[in-house]
Structure formats: structure tokens, C-alpha cells
A and B are shown apart, each in its own frame.
Chain A
Amino acid sequence: VPQLQADVLVIGGGATGAGVAWDAALRGFDVTLVERHDLSQGTSGRFHGLLHSGARYVVKDHDAAVECVEENPIVRRIAADCIEDTGGLFVTTPDDEEAYSERFVEGCRTTGLPVEEIPVAEARRREPRLNPGISRAFAVADASVDVWKTVWALARGVQAHGGRVLPYHAVIDLHRDGDAVTGARVRNELTGEELDIEAGFTLSAVGAWAAQIARMAGVEGVDVVPGKGIMIAMNHRLVNTVINRCTMPADGDILVPIRTVSVIGTTDIHTANPDDLPVTQNEVEQMLDDGERLVPGFRQARALRVWAGVRPLFQDQKAGAVGATRDVTRSHALLDHRERDGIGRFLTITGGKMTTYRLMAEHTVDAMCRQLGVDRPCRTRDERLPDSEGGKHYHLGSRLRARDSELQTEQVICECELISRRRLEETMHRRGTTNLDDLRRSLRLGMGPCQGGFCIYRATGILHGIGRLDGAEASRSLNDFLQERWKGSWPILYGDQLRQARLDDWIFQGLLDVEHLPEAAAA
């Protein structure tokens, strides 16, 4: 088995893991990050895209709110290019108790959260589709954040500092030397090859999967309560400001405008297996009803896609029985396994949220430095991520403006998301991937209204044409993508999106007959 050496092995390629790797790399450690799937394919890639102001937590979870208040401006600065400064509104709808708004105002005061009550008429001027029955409106500093861009920027930063980022590398065992973890054996999920990574320190940042990794080090009792939440992306910007219901955190109370869509979330259901997250019809109905409360007519709007994510809510065994997952703290948990379990050079970071990924990373690497007895201060507060050096936020027209000129002269492969052939080929080469779903995450390929109806055949042909795939592999990749699209599509197929799906059926089944490709028959 071939070997690699690293100062620090980071397990997990979500926002937390990438943030930890970036933090450690900036402090001069030689870092290797492994992720069993693609980067940000787990929880990070499956949330609504909200950069919290903290207002959501001011009544219920003071500590979480304070963390958000501190981190929000930092993330806005260091990851500017990944952020759209939408602002947020908390609105009291006719279904919400007026008394909560007073507690909300008080909570904002005690947590130091900047908030401004604005007249209802002003709120409705800003957001004309908002429920006309709202009685109060509060403006806060919510924003939307592109998590794929953020995680890839962190990964590129790590690489620029000499670190390695290895997607599709699953940890199959941790190495122990006496009372210390000394690295891991990983398996390349694409080739099946195994690799030993010898590491001076191992950091587990795998969210809801923390127990599985801890167990490989012989650590038991790391209880992460996976809380499943579904989100639905609507095909339009129904609102341009993040809209929250001014009420105790509950289901379906947030609508986030992000890029060309708006995302409603979410539910919260305790789930046993974080790898199995079915979307139920009840949940979909609930989200649509909740959407109606925020934006009347929501059910007539076009739903594009639904997905489920899993929150890693940590609850140590000693803290008692698990109740409703929403009551478990949203603050993160850092487990020093030397103190807790007598196993050195191994930490687990879990819980938390995208908004506080940087803080979590800082705490984690601080703890590692303490254990190693070195003093290297954190630099992530000030160091901007690649592509965010200019400090300018993304806005809705950024993508079109950046690409408008090339779209006049180049071949456009995905008309929905404005992806040219050159950009597609470059990304195929740079990422070295043959997986259409990886390209989707990197480029947004197939994420627009037609959900890959036109671009996926084209992308498959191009992947094949530049020699990345033979016919059988190309057919498999195409099939996998169609199945992956279907998974996020069928629970919300009605209205215009059903119409679109039927057109796609005509293309893939009627016209191309993908179902009867030789490989499809064998699979």
C-alpha cells in the first residue's frame, strides 16, 4: 500500500473540513484533506444557503446567536465572492404570535444583534410578493452564501499552500500507535486503490458521520443526532431578501433567495441513518403550505427540485435522552479525545452550521496546537479566500455579466446556467472528473429549469469526445445523472415542472432511447 505523509489529516470535505484544512494550512501545517464523496456533497451541499445574521436564534439559543453575530461580518469579508448581500427580514405573519416579536427584539438587544424595525408598508415595497397580512417587519443582516464556491475556494487555498485535497477518498480505518491516532488508511472510491496516510494529527470533521470515524479510533459514545431537513428550490426569485417568520424556530419558516432560485426550508425529523434521507409527500405538502404563508401563490410557482440534508446535532451521551432535534444546541461541539477518551492526536469537530464554519475551524486547530504544544495564531479572520480578494459580493447579474461576451462567440452547452464548451472542457480537465454530477456541483451544469434536458446529452458527448470516457462509461454516467436528477425531481413534479419533466422524457426516452443503450441493459 502506497504511503503519504502529512502534518495534519483532515477527514471530511464539507464546509467544516475544508475550513479546518484552510486554517491549518495558513498556520503552516502540511495538510491533507480526504472526503469520501465529492467536496460539499454531504450536509454542506444540502442546505438552503443562508448565512445567518443570528436572528433566528436570539430567543432560543443565545450562544448560537452570539456566534453568528460575530462570524457573519467576518465571512462576508473573507468569502465576499461567495456571498450575496440580500439582507433579511423577520416578519410576523397572521399565523405568528405577536408576543414573540417582543421577545425577538429583546433577544436581539441582549445578543448585540443589529436589527431595525421597518414599517410594514416598507417591507412590502421591498418584497411585493410578501404576505399582505404581516403585522411587523425587522431588517437584519442575513445573506445567502454559495457553499460550493466557498468550499472549493477553501480547497484551492489549501492547495495553494502546498496541501492536498483528495475527494473520493474514503477512510476505511484509522491507524493507532498506543494511545495516539497516527493517520488513516483510505480507499480511492473511483479506482479502489488503497493508500496509507501517516499523519501527526488527525481531525475528524465529518458532521453527522462523526460516530463512525470515532469508532475507528476506538472511541465510543460520540452521539450525533442526525436531524433530517428537506428544502425545495423554486424556479424564481420569489423574494430578493431572506424572509424569516418571526416566531420560534419551526419548520418551513425561511425563504432564501440564492442565485436564480429561492429555497424554502426546512423540516426537522430525527433520522437513524444519515445516508438514507427519503423525502416524504407529507414534508413536501408542509413546505408548500408554509410557503403560502410567506408568499401567497407559492403553490402556483414552479418548484424545481427538492432535497434532504442532515444536520449534525451533537449531544453527548451524558446530556440525557434525545428529544426533538430542534432543541439540541446549534452550537458546535469539539471533542478532545485525549481528555475525553485518553486517545491523543485526534479531535472531532461536529455540530454547528455553515455560518460558523470558520469559528469551528479556529477552535479545532487551536485545540490541536495546544495538544501539540505549539503556538501558531489563527489567520483566517483576515485572510481572504481565493477569488474574494477584491472584497466584492456576488450579485444576481454577476454571472451573466462575466459571461456575456464569451456567450456571443463560444458554443453554449447549458443555456440555463450559461456554461460554454470551453468552460466545461476546462473544468473536466482541471477536476479530472468523469462524473456529470461533479460537474454539476462545480459548474451548476443541469441545475436550471430544464434540469439537464438539453445539456446532459451534450456534456456526455463532450466527456466522451475528449477521451475521458468510453461508450460504456459515458452511458453509465448519463444514466447515473438521469437517476440523480429524478431523485430530486419526482416528489415535486406538478405544474410547469411536470411539463418540463415530460419534455425531458421525450428527449431521453422517446428520442435518444437511453433506456436501451447496451450498458443500461446490463446494469
Chain B
Amino acid sequence: MRPDAIVVGAGLAGLSAAVRLAEGGARVLVLAKGVGATHLGAGTIDVLGYARGRVERPLDAMDSLPDEHPYGLVGADGVAAAVDWFKRCFAAGPLAPYSYTGWVDENLLLPTAVGAIRPSAVVPETMARGDLRGGARVCMVGFRALKDFHPALLADNLARAPEGVEARSAELDLKPEGREDANSQAFARAFDDPAFRAEFAAQVAGRLSAEERVGLPAVLGLASPHEVWSELEHRLGRPVFEVPTLPPSVPGMRVFATLRDALRRAGGQLILNAVVMGAERRGARVTALRTRVGLREVVHQAEWLVLATGGFPSGGLELDSRWRACEVALGLPVAGVPAPGAERFRPGYFEDHPLARAGVAVDGELRPVAEGGERLLENVLVAGATLAGAVPWKEKSGDGLSLATGFRAAELILAGGNFGRSEARAAAGA
């Protein structure tokens, strides 16, 4: 099969683009070195948490972002459409009725594993009861064997927050398979087991006070999170919520599983361990990608290409010791890199660093552009953390950006191409 479109990268941006394209009737091939940032993040769809100070209403606050911010490429409507689509993916997905709740017009305030309060717009149902707006009484429950979640520290910091939270904590000695050291994934598998849940509920029930919500590390199941979560709420007779742990991210794995399943159902294909080595070009078009899968070199031809390989942390962008930056898969220029000798970073860790917004610059149709703004490639669209102009970890905007630009890239391709399976496209409501 010669695909209509190749998507490089299997993070939120790449999978969103791929699923949307496949739903729209395009034959899609996803090539990725490995799983993407879904497995590292919180599993929430943070749209915009900080702009000038903490953001209450993400869509409204987008107006205050600088012009070159990538949200300008999709606009508030584009973000809303993408989020709406994302939520519907879960309704039809393998984990249903596990769902996302919240909307882009308003941020929830969720606790982090260290006890800071993080604004987030659209979150798994299993996290929503952790919303601390208007204050709360919570008991944070953790496990000694889970080193990536410290309930006492979390509770202590929450209790100091201005939001008016009463927080305390409990630590249990439950161990998946008797292991002293088990990560979030091992705990999630354990929670999928009804016997483990029953044991957990029995241990924790007597330690709770009236009117107290229960916060847990985000490990409430990989196979059936809705069932795990609602059963615990039922057994404990009170709201229960998850708090993201250090990676690996169980909620992020649920996102990956859901989108991968949607891709498969829509006829798309995903190949992991595929490393893009270069591209073949004709004029301003990429005609094929050279990839390495294991020891084999494979050339894939396609009409369209969506580049969603991530930024520096994912290896989509690189900076060498002489301060030359490049986009790795296609060798696209990287905008926003200070000249050699100029300041790249500031001495304070939390300061605004000059290199922070570096990425591939694109035009209004997500095509990569050169320094002067001229379009470099006609059939390549760039999405997600590869894009220049945002500081996603600081703004708490990474998920919204990846989702919205990935979705937008697919829409642009679908609008410009004539893909055979129009009935599938109609069925998907494109």
C-alpha cells in the first residue's frame, strides 16, 4: 500500500493527525522511533495554564499570547474543534466509558505530585474530582513501594496553598507482586485486578474522615480505568481522584492506547522503531522518506507528510556544541536559536531562556518556512512540539498545542487532497 500521508512521530500531535487523516479517508502510515511524550506527561489536555500569570480562561487568554505563538496558527476555534474531537475519540474507544471532562473555556486547578496547583483544562474523569477551586478537604493516599508519588509532601504543600485546602495523607504498604520497588505501570496493572482493589479499599477505608475526598497516584488501571475508579468511589463512598506521577504516565498510556486503536479502526498503520534517515525531494516536494527499521532500510513514498517528531526532549530537534540547531528528520532550519556567542540560557533555572522558543517556523498552513518567511516545502506540514514560538512546559500549553496543530494539519491535508474512500470520510463526519 502506498499511503496518501505519512505521519512521523507517535506522540499526541502525530497520532491526532494520523487518526484524523484516516477517519477522513486518507491512507495513513505513522512512522515513529518510539512512543512519544504521551508516556511522560500528565495525561491531561493542558491548553494554557500560564500567560501573564495564572490563566483561568484559556481561550480568552490566547489573545494575550505573542503573535508568533503557534496557537495563532489554529485559533481558538481550532483548539475547541480539536479538543471536542479528542473527547469523542474516547467515547468510541477501547477504554470507554473512560472519558475526558472539562472544557477549553475554563481551567480546573489540579494538584501535582509535589503539591503545587496546576491549571488544566480538559482532564480524565479520574482526575476531575481533584479540582481544588473553592477549596477542598482531601486525603492523599500513596504507597511506600511507589517512589514516584509522595503523599505526605503533596498534602503538606497543598495545605499551604492560598486556595484553602485541608489536606492530610496516608501511606499504604501494598505491594504489587510483593515488590518493594514498583513503578506506576506495575501499580496500574495491579489495580486492574479486582482482588488488589478490594484489598486496597479494605486497608484505606478505616483511615478516612467524613467529607474527605481521596487523592491517589494516577495508577487506577490501564485496561479498565473507568471501572477501577468508579468501583473505588463506590466502595469508599466518596469522590476519588488521580494525581499524575513521575513517568511512566499511566493516563498518558491510556491516551496512546485510545488513539492507536482509533488509528487501526480507521485503517491506518503504525510502525515503531522506524527512524527517518532522510527524504527524497522533487522541487519543493518530499516524495519519499528513507527509514531504517532495525537493520533494514525502507523507502516509503507518500503525497503528504506530517512532521510531528517533537522538540529537543524527543530528539526531533538537535543543537550541536557549536550552537547549530537542526530539525533531525528532514534537516529543516530551526528558528529562534541565539547566534553563537549570544546568550542561550539565563543563570536562573526558572527564568525565560532565549533558546526556549526555538523550533521550526511555519506559515499559516503549517508549511515550514525559511528565515525570510518563504515556504520551503509544499507537501510537508509541521505539528506539535517541533513548532517554534511556545514554551509549553512553562505555559502548560503543550498538550493543547500538539492536539490542535496535529488535528489542524490533518484538516488542511484533507481539504487539499482528494482521497478515495469518501464514504469513510462522510461516515467520520468530516
State whether the Cβ of B101 lies closer than 8 Å to any Cβ in chain A: no
CB-CB under 8 A for A494 and B116, given A464-B150, A465-B153, A507-B246: no
In the complex, what residues of B have CB within 8 A of residue A491's CB? Answer: 345
CB-CB under 8 A for A517 and B114, given A465-B152, A510-B41: yes
Give which listed residue, B118, B180, B323, B346, contacts A516 with CB less than 8 A: B118
Give which listed residue, A409, A412, A470, contacts B156 with CB less than 8 A: A470
Instruction: Give the contacts of A471-523 with B (CB-CB under 8 A).
Output: 471-472, 474-475, 478, 482-483, 485-487, 490-491, 493-495, 498-499, 502-503, 505-507, 509-520
Digitize B133-155: 1 where CB-to-A-CB distance is under 8 Å, 0 elsewhere. 00000000000010111101100
State whether the Cβ of B112 lies closer than 8 Å to any Cβ in chain A: yes
What is the minimal beta-carbon distance from B12 to any residue of chain A, in angstroms?
A: 13
Asked if A460 and B319 sit within 8 Å, CB to CB, the answer is no
CB-CB under 8 A for A513 and B118, given A482-B349, A506-B313: yes
Asked if B116 and A409 sit within 8 Å, CB to CB, the answer is no
Asked if B153 and A471 sit within 8 Å, CB to CB, the answer is yes
In the complex, what residues of A have CB within 8 A of residue B312's CB? Answer: 498-499, 502
Name A507's closest neighbour in chain B (CB-CB): B246
Asked if B349 and A474 sit within 8 Å, CB to CB, the answer is no
Asked if B116 and A506 sit within 8 Å, CB to CB, the answer is no
CB-CB under 8 A for A510 and B393, given A515-B350, A519-B160: yes
In the complex, what residues of B have CB within 8 A of residue A520's CB? Answer: 350
Give which listed residue, A409, A421, A478, contacts B147 with CB less than 8 A: A421
Asked if B344 and A507 sit within 8 Å, CB to CB, the answer is no
Number of chain A residues whose Cβ lies closer than 8 Å to a Cβ of chain B: 54
State whether the Cβ of A249 lies closer than 8 Å to any Cβ in chain B: no
State whether the Cβ of A18 lies closer than 8 Å to any Cβ in chain B: no
Within the assembled complex, what's the spacing in Å between the Cα atoms of A475 and B150?
13
In the complex, what residues of A have CB within 8 A of residue B244's CB? Answer: 511
What is the minimal beta-carbon distance from B87 to any residue of chain A, in angstroms?
A: 22
Asked if B393 and A409 sit within 8 Å, CB to CB, the answer is no
Instruction: Give the contacts of A448-470 with B (CB-CB under 8 A).
Output: 454, 457-458, 460-462, 464-465, 470
In the complex, what residues of A have CB within 8 A of residue B160's CB? Answer: 471-472, 518-519
What is the minimal beta-carbon distance from A259 to any residue of chain B, in angstroms?
A: 23
What is the minimal beta-carbon distance from B172 to any residue of chain A, in angstroms?
A: 13
State whether the Cβ of B267 lies closer than 8 Å to any Cβ in chain A: no
Within the assembled complex, what's the spacing in Å between the Cα atoms of A159 and B398?
53
What is the minimal beta-carbon distance from A283 to any residue of chain B, in angstroms?
A: 13
CB-CB under 8 A for A493 and B117, given A461-B153, A511-B244, A518-B161: no
State whether the Cβ of B372 lies closer than 8 Å to any Cβ in chain A: no
Give which listed residue, A412, A460, A470, A490, contacts B345 with CB less than 8 A: A490
Within the assembled complex, what's the spacing in Å between the Cα atoms of A478 and B152?
15
Determine chain A's interface SS by DSSP, over half rule.
helix
Name A470's closest neighbour in chain B (CB-CB): B156
Give which listed residue, A495, A505, A509, contacts B320 with CB less than 8 A: A495
State whether the Cβ of B115 lies closer than 8 Å to any Cβ in chain A: yes
In the complex, what residues of B have CB within 8 A of residue A191's CB? Answer: none
Asked if B153 and A410 sit within 8 Å, CB to CB, the answer is no
Instruction: Give the contacts of B282-315 with A (CB-CB under 8 A).
Output: 311-313, 315
In the complex, what residues of A have CB within 8 A of residue B323's CB? Answer: 494
CB-CB under 8 A for A506 and B148, given A464-B156, A483-B349, A490-B345: no
Within the assembled complex, what's the spacing in Å between the Cα atoms of A382 and B37?
57
Digitize A10-43: 1 where CB-to-B-CB distance is under 8 Å, 0 elsewhere. 0000000000000000000000000000000000
Within the assembled complex, what's the spacing in Å between the Cα atoms of A498 and B161?
33
Name B244's closest neighbour in chain A (CB-CB): A511
Asked if A512 and B114 sit within 8 Å, CB to CB, the answer is yes
Asked if A471 and B156 sit within 8 Å, CB to CB, the answer is yes
What is the minimal beta-carbon distance from A392 to any residue of chain B, in angstroms?
A: 30
State whether the Cβ of A411 lies closer than 8 Å to any Cβ in chain B: yes
Name A301's closest neighbour in chain B (CB-CB): B321
In the complex, what residues of A have CB within 8 A of residue B171's CB? Answer: 465
Asked if B313 and A502 sit within 8 Å, CB to CB, the answer is yes
Give which listed residue, A472, A482, A512, contacts B113 with CB less than 8 A: A512
In the complex, what residues of A have CB within 8 A of residue B206's CB? Answer: none
State whether the Cβ of B318 lies closer than 8 Å to any Cβ in chain A: yes
Asked if B246 and A475 sit within 8 Å, CB to CB, the answer is no
In the complex, what residues of A have CB within 8 A of residue B180's CB? Answer: 409-411
What is the minimal beta-carbon distance from B126 to any residue of chain A, in angstroms?
A: 17
Output the residue of B41, B244, B246 with the most chain A CB within 10 A.
B246
Instruction: Give the contacts of A369-417 with B (CB-CB under 8 A).
Output: 409-413
Within the assembled complex, what's the spacing in Å between the Cα atoms of A240 and B97?
57
In the complex, what residues of A have CB within 8 A of residue B319's CB? Answer: 493-495, 498
Asked if A517 and B322 sit within 8 Å, CB to CB, the answer is no
Output the residue of A299, A502, A510, A514 with the most chain B CB within 10 A.
A510
Asked if B147 and A413 sit within 8 Å, CB to CB, the answer is yes
State whether the Cβ of B392 lies closer than 8 Å to any Cβ in chain A: yes
In the complex, what residues of A have CB within 8 A of residue B313's CB? Answer: 499, 502-503, 505-506
Asked if B115 and A517 sit within 8 Å, CB to CB, the answer is yes
Within the assembled complex, what's the spacing in Å between the Cα atoms of A503 and B385?
13
What is the minimal beta-carbon distance from B132 to any residue of chain A, in angstroms?
A: 13
State whether the Cβ of A281 lies closer than 8 Å to any Cβ in chain B: yes
State whether the Cβ of B247 lies closer than 8 Å to any Cβ in chain A: yes
State whether the Cβ of B20 lies closer than 8 Å to any Cβ in chain A: no
Digitize B391-408: 1 where CB-to-A-CB distance is under 8 Å, 0 elsewhere. 011101010000000000
Name B40's closest neighbour in chain A (CB-CB): A506
Name A299's closest neighbour in chain B (CB-CB): B321
State whether the Cβ of B159 lies closer than 8 Å to any Cβ in chain A: yes
State whether the Cβ of B42 lies closer than 8 Å to any Cβ in chain A: yes
Asked if B116 and A516 sit within 8 Å, CB to CB, the answer is yes
Asked if B157 and A462 sit within 8 Å, CB to CB, the answer is no
State whether the Cβ of A288 lies closer than 8 Å to any Cβ in chain B: yes
Q: Pull 18 A–B residue pairs with CB atoms less than 8 Å apart, ordered by A.
A: A454-B148, A457-B114, A457-B246, A458-B147, A458-B150, A458-B246, A460-B153, A461-B153, A464-B156, A483-B348, A483-B349, A505-B393, A506-B40, A511-B244, A513-B396, A516-B116, A516-B117, A518-B160
Other A-B pairs, 11, CB within 8 Å; known A299-B321, A465-B150: A413-B147, A462-B150, A471-B115, A474-B157, A506-B313, A509-B393, A510-B392, A510-B393, A511-B247, A517-B115, A517-B116
Which 10 A-B pairs give the minimum distances between C-beta atoms? Answer: A461-B150, A471-B156, A502-B313, A510-B393, A486-B349, A490-B345, A411-B181, A513-B116, A299-B321, A509-B393
